[in-house]
Every structure is written in C-alpha cells, then in structure tokens.
C-alpha cells in the first residue's frame, strides 16, 4: 500500500552508546515509545501485584495460618488493589491506546506529544511514590509504612486520628499525582481522535478501538477528578484541620464513600471499555468477517459510559441508605447490563458464519466472551440490594470483580499482546508458548476464581487475614490457592515468550494477520514518522479495499 | 482546553456538592452570617472577562497596542479580585475567628473559595507571562489562536465564580 515507509538508505552513523539510547527513551515524546514504556512499566507492577496476591493466598490457604501478620496482610490487600488498578490496568490500557490510536487514525503522533510524556512520567513517579512507602515509613517517622486502609481508603479510617504516620499520605499523594497524569492522557486522546484523523476518515469510519478510547477518555475527565477532589479534601482534613469527614464536627463518613465510588464505579468501566475495543478489533480479524453492528457497538458504548455514572451507590447498599436510594441504584445497575449484553451478542454475531481461526489472540478473546458474561451475571446478582445485603464484603464480591478483571480485562489484554506484539516488535510471539500460556492460565483462573464464589456464599468475609477451621471454607481456600500456581506458571511462560521472541521470533512483516486497519499498512515496527504518506481512506476497512479493489467496502457502507 | 475545562468542572462540582451538603450542619462556630457579599470583587472579575474578550479581538485585528492595553486591564482586574479575597479572608480569620479548621462551614468555605482563588492565581501567572512577552515587543497577531485558547481558561474561571458566588453568598446565607 502506498503508505509504507520510505525506502531510503540511511546515512551511515556511528553506533550509539547505551547512554544515548537510554537518554532517547527518557526524553522521548513519540507516542510509540511512550506506549511501550507504559506497557513495560505495567508488566513490572503486574508481577509485583501478583506476588502480593500470592502471599495473601498462601496465608489463606489453611486456617489459622501464620505466614504473615495481620498488619502486613492489611498492607498487602491495600497495595495489591491499588497497584493493580492504578499502576497495572490503567497504564497498560493507556499504553496500548497511546501506541495504537494515532496509527489507526492515520496520524503521525498524538495531539500533544509533550503532554503525553508528562502524563507518563507523572504516572510512573506516582507508582514509585506508592512503593517508597514500604521503605520510607518505619524508621523515618516511626509510624506507618505501606498504606493498610484498603484501596478505597475510607475516611474516617484515614483521618489523622486513626491512621497516624504517613502511610495514608503515600496512598493519597501517589494517586493524586498519577491521576493528573491520567487526566492529561484523556485530554490528549480526545484532541487526537477528534482533530487528527486522516482524510476520508469520518467518525463513522474510525476503527472501533478509536471510538471506544474516545468514550473512555471522556469518562476519565469526569471520573478521575472526583477522586482527586476527595483526596484534596482528605489532605485538608489530615493536615489543615479540616472537618470534611470528621463526624465529631458534624461531617459525614458516607460522603467519602459517595465521592470515592462516583470515581470507583465508572473507573472499572474505564478499564473494561478499552478491552471491549481489543475484542472489537481482534474477533473480526480471526472470524474473517467485519464487526457485526458497528453503529450499535458505538451507541451501546456511549450508553454504558453514561449509565455507569449513575450506579455508584451499589457499593453502598449496606450502609443504610433509604429504600428509594437503594432501589434507584439497583435499577440502574441492572440497566447497565443491557448495552453490555448487546455488545456480547454483537461479538457472537461477528463470529457467526465466519471462518474462525483459533490462533492465540482469538483464544483469549473467546475466553473473555464466556468469562465476562459470567462475571456480568454475578454482577447483576449483586445489583439486587437484598442479595447484596447478604454478600457484600464477602468473597462472593471478591470473586465477582476478579472474574471481570482477570477473566475479562486481563484475558483481553493478553489477546492484545499476541495480536499487536508483531506490529510493535516486528516479530511473532510463539504460537506453541502462546497456547501453553492460554491453557495454563485458563485452568489456574478457573480453579481460583470459580471456586472463590463458594466460600463467599458460605459466609467468608473479605479482608480477613485468617479464619478458624470447621466452617467449611478450608477445602475451597486450598483449591483457590492451588489455582494461583497455575497462573504463575502461565505468566512465566508469557514473560519468557515476550523476551525470547523479541530476539528469536519469526519475522512478522507488515501484516501477519491479514487485517484491515491502518496500523497494518506500515512497517513492523513502524518508523518514527508512522506513515510515509498520510493515508486517505474511503471505508472502515481501508486495507481490505486495498487488497480487494474489485470488492471494496465503500460500495456497501 | 475544552477537555481540561470539563475535568476541572468535575473537581469544582464535587467541592460545591460538599459545600451544599454541609450547609447548616456545623455544630459550633461562625455561620455564613459573617460573610459580606463581595460585590466589588465580583464586578472586577466578571469585567475582566469582557476586557479579555476585547483584548483577543484587538489581537485578531493586529492591534497589538490595543491588545496590550486591554490585557493589562484584565490582569489588573484579576489582581484586584485576589486582593479583595485576601482582605475578606483577613477579616474572617482575625475578626470573626473563622479558619479552615474552625468548623464545617470554615472547612467547606475556604476549600471551595480557595480552590477558585488558586485557579485565579494560576490564570494570573499566565496573564503576567503574556504581558511580559507583549512588553518585550514579541506579541503579534499570529499568536491569536493561542491567546484565544488561554482566554477560554479565564472565562471558565469567571464562570466558576458565578456558581461559587451563587452557592456561597446567595443560597448558603
């Protein structure tokens, strides 16, 4: 296609030193390099968060265990949750968005490259600040190490009186800083998608990944900011003597919950919508059919974006809101399942009648389809307030959201890795190792999270560091922990594959999957300028048009 | 800039909601009755939006001298607003005994008005920088779009003040 890289013999330059190469990465404003840094950063924290989870599971493997103390256990679940949401899921999805969106819309970079770099480094240093708490606490001030207040950091537990020392401040400040980074990326993506599409690419011809990242970015602007506001209020309470959450002065503990969950619930939709985007790009290519119902997919996502802003208090059913409030949030939480279900039907509709190729990216996407459906269903169960009154703060809830996050989000992310790694590095990942990764992880995931629902139903609360024998929970906890080791093995296979294939993988070429969007029209890896000539598109599948000039899409769209 | 304004609006909304939620809930200490309505400061700030608009229009028509004049007026009006806020706070702290830690009213009032004043300050810094460039003779009409985008921020700050003023000095009292 005419937008390949220019074949120019490069002027011979001396090999650059390692210092120059590192400097290049540190000062870069190139969306591709920043995307890669986001992704690598997130993978490192994925391993750290996974270690935190493994330690917790070992502690809970048998009753009355003494693997870690209760204080350390509290720090573990706080750091695990905070790390996984803010320093794994968000960065990895921003990384993919940064890398792919300009390529897919035929642009040379994001709208604000320096803001892009600034956002990345804010996020990166935020994560380092959070983990500095592990070292910087004890010894310096004699009180507080890693935060131990849960990833929701409910006030007034986080007030100065109940959380002396600085552990809560590390939580607050690191998320405040990385929150501003995320807002910057959101602004950047909106400006890029609305202003920098190549000629011919109307909003109706944009890849669904671009559409869904646009919706996600809009949500970021009004979702991360309530958390920032609440955190500023918390800092005012802790250091300036404010009373926002001080019940003794007439303040309200519930107001933190409202502000946090006004952030917290749309946040998980911010996490899942880019994963819907991966599904919408990968499933059509491996079904050899265009996505079923493109306009409905866009409309459903916009609806999800709006409705998700109205469901937050389903995290607060147990605090004693009025029955009107409980009913309202129960109803909206059930309604949000409707557009989501429509999207599931559309992916199935895409696969129906297609010629399915069971390559690794598709395997992970099919896993997503089943698992996200089940996770959504347990969510709908929890949306019913009376059901939630029994199961709130139990392992049923923990099982539900891990089913979404691991079974949904992480599976989609793995799929995205296998699909776009060839574009990013120029090499294919190994199909054999990929399948090994998939099956090991599938077994481990289901051992852990399917069976985790049962202790929840049997009454096991969450955030407890141990439990007594004789409650019928022991066998289930043991199975849950065993599943963890399968997942560890799978992730080790994956990391090995990432490294090995970088040097020894089969060379990919521009378009190893015979796909249809613009990123496959340029070299693998793309040159710094992305496209030699800015492409002009006439349909949603510009590469299909180029490869099939006798049967182009624009005749039918 | 529009996206930034959306995000900032969300932050202000949360502080406004907290303020409204806590109206009348202080257990002790000064009440909103101690507030004097800052009419002069408000007129200054809202006029600064008008002068800002006139400045941008002058620059678009390549009248750099006129631009400099209106820009300086905008800057001055913004500075007067901040000074007036400072004087108001001085009275509240030292005569009425209201600080951010006194009671719920103090906490929510200083947080909300302070957050707005912080945004005015950031805007003022931007105004000063542009003023400096103009006085150094570097301003030309080719920068009109950039100045126009910055003026969006300033108009936003004014719009927020309309909301804060209404909530704090009209509804809350």
Q: Does A190 touch chain B (CB under 8 A)?
A: yes
The token pair that represents A345 in the structure block: 């039907």
What distance in Å separates residue B2's CA from the closest CA in chain A?
9
Residues 262-281 of chain A whose Cβ lies under 8 A from any Cβ of chain B? 262
Quick one: tokens of A211?
């559409």
User: Residue A135: how many CB atoms within 10 A of its CB?
Assistant: 11
Quote the minimal CA–CA distance from A198 to chain B in Å.
22
Contact A249 B21 (CB under 8 A): no
How far B24 CA sits from the closest chain A CA (Å)? 10
- Are A208 and A216 within 8 A, CB to CB? no
Domain boundaries, chain B: 2-171
Domain boundary assignment for chain A: 25-245+252-555
The top-level CATH class assigned to B2-171 is mainly alpha
Determine the Cα–Cα distance for residues B123 and A155; give it in Å rounded to an integer: 33
| A186 in B contact zone (CB under 8 Å) | yes
**pLDDT exceeds cutoff 60 at A139:** no
pLDDT at A446 over 60: yes
Q: Which residues of A touch B106 (CB under 8 A)?
A: 243
Closest among A196, A217, A193 to A207, alpha carbons compared? A193
pLDDT in tens, A456-486: 999 999 999 999 999 999 999 999 999 999 9
d(CA B107, CA B99): 7
The shortest C-alpha distance from A214 to chain B (Å) reads 12
Looking at chain A from residue 318 to 377, which residues have their Cβ under 8 Å from any Cβ of chain B? none
Nearest residue on chain A to B9, judged by CA atoms? A222
A428-to-A220, A282, A318, A425, B111 alpha-carbon distances in Å: 33, 16, 50, 8, 54
Measured between beta carbons, the chain B residues lying within 8 angstroms of A191 are 3
Nearest CA to CA, how far is A315 from chain B (Å)? 19
Residue of A228, A242, A243 lying closest to B11 (CB–CB):
A228
Give the C-alpha separation, A19 to A142, whole Å: 39
Average pLDDT, chain A: 93
Each residue of B14-47: b (16+ CB within 10 Å) or e?
bbbbbbebbbeebeebbbbebbeebeebbebbbb
Residues of B in contact with A229 (CB under 8 A): 10-11, 14-15
| B15 interaction partners in chain A (CB closer than 8 Å) | 229, 233
Residues lower than pLDDT 70 in chain B = none
| Contact map slice: B 47-66 vs A, CB within 8 A | none
When pLDDT is cut at 50, 70 and 90, the band that residue A57 belongs to is: very high
Residue B173: predicted pLDDT: 82
Is the pLDDT reported for residue A2 higher than 80?
Answer: no
What is the per-residue pLDDT across A484-506, written as a single tens digit (0 to 9) for each? Answer: 999 999 999 999 999 999 999 99
Chain B: nearest CA to A243, how far in angstroms? 6
Average confidence (pLDDT) over A432-450: 97
Chain A contact present for B149, CB below 8 A: no
Q: Give the pLDDT score at A556.
A: 85
Beta-carbon neighbour count of residue A59 at 10 Å? 21
Q: Which among B4, B27, B104 is the top mutation candidate for probing chain A, defined by the most A β-carbons within 10 Å of its own β-carbon? A: B104
Q: Tell whether the model's pLDDT for residue A14 goes beyond 90.
A: no
- DSSP per-residue letters across B86-139: HHHHHHHHHTS---TTTSHHHHHHHHHHHHHHHHHHHHHHHHHHHHHHHHTT--
With a cut of 50, say whether residue A143 has pLDDT above it: no
Q: Is B4 on the interface with A (CB under 8 A)?
A: yes
Q: Does A244 touch chain B (CB under 8 A)?
A: yes
Interface of A with B in 245-264 (CB under 8 A): 249-252, 255, 259, 262
Question: Does B159 reach chain A within 8 Å, measured CB to CB?
Answer: no
d(CA A13, CA B102): 67
| Interface residue B95 vs chain A (CB under 8 A) | no
pLDDT of A140: 46
pLDDT at residue A16, as a whole number: 80
What interface predicted TM-score (ipTM) does this complex get? 0.93
Say yes or no: B8 contacts chain A, CB-CB below 8 A.
yes
- Region A178-192 average pLDDT: 96
Q: Dump pLDDT digits (tens) for B69-112.
A: 999 999 999 999 999 999 999 999 999 999 999 999 999 999 99
Would you place residue A64 in the very low, low, confident or very high pLDDT band (cuts 50, 70, 90)? very high
Q: If DSSP codes are grouped into helix, strand and coil, which group holds residue A147?
A: coil
Question: Is the CB of residue B11 less than 8 Å away from at least one CB of chain A?
Answer: yes
**Number of CB pairs, chain A paired with chain B, less than 8 A apart:** 82
Residue A248 phi/psi, 5-degree rounding, is: -70, -20
Is A160 an interface residue toward B (CB < 8 Å)? no
Out of A217, A229, A249, closest to residue B11 by CB: A229
- The span from the CA of B100 to the CA of B169, in Å, is 17
- Put simply, whether B118 touches A (Cβ < 8 Å) is no
Q: What residue in A sits closest to B6 (Cα-Cα)?
A: A221
Query: What distance in Å separates residue B104's CA from the closest CA in chain A?
Result: 6
Assess whether pLDDT exceeds 50 at residue A401.
yes
CATH number of A25-245+252-555: 1.20.210.10
- Which residues in chain B have Cβ-Cβ distances shorter than 8 Å to A181? none
Q: Round to whole Å and give the CA distance between A361 and A17.
A: 36
Nearest CB neighbour to A244, from listed B10, B27, B107: B107
Residue A557's pLDDT is 78
pLDDT for A9: 61
Strand (E) or helix (H) holding A385 = helix A385-391
């Amino acid at each position: 296609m005419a937008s390949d890289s220019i074949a120019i013999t490069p002027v011979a330059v001396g090999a650059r030193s390692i210092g120059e190469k590192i400097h290049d990465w540190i000062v870069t404003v190139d969306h591709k390099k920043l995307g890669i840094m986001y992704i690598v950063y997130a993978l490192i924290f994925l391993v750290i968060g996974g270690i935190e989870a493994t330690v917790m599971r070992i502690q809970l493997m048998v009753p009355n265990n003494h693997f870690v103390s209760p204080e350390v256990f509290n720090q573990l679940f706080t750091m695990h949750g905070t790390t996984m949401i803010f320093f794994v899921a968000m960065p990895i999805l921003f990384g993919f968005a940064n890398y792919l969106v300009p390529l897919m819309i035929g642009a040379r970079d994001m709208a604000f490259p320096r803001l892009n770099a600034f956002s990345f480094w804010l996020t990166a240093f935020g994560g380092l600040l959070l983990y500095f708490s592990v070292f910087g606490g004890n010894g310096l001030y004699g009180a507080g190490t890693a935060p131990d207040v849960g990833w929701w950091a409910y006030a007034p537990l986080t007030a100065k009186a109940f959380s002396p020392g600085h552990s809560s401040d590390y939580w607050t400040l690191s998320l405040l800083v990385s929150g501003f980074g995320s807002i910057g990326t959101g602004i950047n993506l909106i400006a890029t998608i609305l202003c920098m599409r190549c000629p011919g690419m109307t909003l109706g011809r944009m890849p669904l990944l671009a559409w869904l990242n646009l919706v996600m970015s809009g949500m970021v602007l009004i979702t991360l900011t309530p958390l920032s506001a609440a955190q500023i209020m918390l800092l005012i309470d802790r250091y300036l003597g404010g009373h926002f959450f001080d019940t003794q002065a007439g303040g309200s503990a519930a107001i933190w919950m409202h502000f946090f969950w006004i952030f917290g619930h749309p946040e998980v939709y911010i996490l899942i919508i880019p994963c819907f985007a991966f599904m919408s790009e990968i499933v059509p290519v491996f079904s050899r059919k265009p996505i079923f119902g493109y306009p409905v997919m866009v409309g459903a996502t916009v609806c999800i974006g709006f409705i998700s802003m109205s469901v937050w208090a389903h995290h607060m059913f147990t605090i004693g809101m009025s029955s009107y409030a409980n009913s309202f949030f129960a109803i909206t939480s059930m309604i949000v399942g409707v557009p989501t279900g429509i999207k599931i039907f559309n992916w199935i509709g895409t696969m129906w009648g297609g010629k399915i190729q069971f390559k690794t990216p598709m395997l992970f996407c099919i896993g997503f389809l089943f698992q996200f459906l089940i996770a959504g269903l347990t969510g709908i169960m929890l949306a019913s307030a009376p059901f939630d009154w029994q199961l709130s703060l139990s392992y049923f809830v923990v099982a539900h959201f891990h089913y979404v996050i691991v079974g949904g989000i992480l599976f989609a992310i793995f799929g995205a890795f296998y699909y776009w790694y060839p574009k990013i590095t120029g090499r294919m990942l190994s199909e054999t190792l990929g399948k090994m990764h998939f099956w090991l992880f599938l077994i481990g995931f289901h051992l852990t999270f399917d069976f985790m629902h049962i202790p929840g139903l049997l009454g096991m609360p969450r955030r407890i560091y141990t439990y007594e024998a004789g409650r019928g929970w022991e066998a289930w906890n043991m199975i849950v922990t065993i599943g963890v080791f399968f997942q560890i093995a799978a992730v080790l296979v994956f990391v090995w594959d990432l490294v090995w294939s970088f040097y020894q993988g089969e060379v990919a070429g521009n378009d190893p999957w015979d796909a249809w969007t613009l990123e496959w029209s340029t070299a693998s890896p793309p040159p710094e300028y992305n496209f030699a000539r800015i492409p002009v598109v006439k349909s949603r599948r510009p590469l299909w048009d180029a490869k099939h000039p006798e049967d182009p899409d624009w005749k039918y769209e | 800039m529009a996206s930034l304004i959306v995000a900032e609006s969300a932050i202000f909304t949360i502080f406004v909601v907290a303020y409204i939620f806590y109206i009348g809930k202080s257990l002790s200490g000064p009440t909103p009755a101690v507030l004097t309505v800052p009419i002069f400061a408000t007129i200054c700030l809202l006029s600064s939006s008008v002068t800002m608009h006139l400045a941008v229009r002058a620059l678009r028509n390549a009248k750099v001298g006129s631009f400099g004049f209106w820009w300086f007026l905008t800057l001055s009006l913004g500075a007067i607003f901040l000074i007036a806020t400072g004087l108001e706070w001085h009275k509240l702290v030292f005569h009425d005994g209201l600080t951010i830690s006194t009671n719920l009213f103090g906490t929510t009032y200083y947080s909300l008005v302070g957050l707005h004043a912080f945004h005015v300050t950031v805007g003022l810094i931007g105004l000063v920088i542009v003023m400096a460039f103009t006085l150094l003779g570097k301003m030309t009409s080719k920068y009109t779009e950039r100045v126009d985008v910055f003026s969006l921020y300033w108009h936003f700050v004014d719009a927020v003040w309309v909301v804060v003023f209404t909530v704090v000095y009209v509804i809350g009292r």
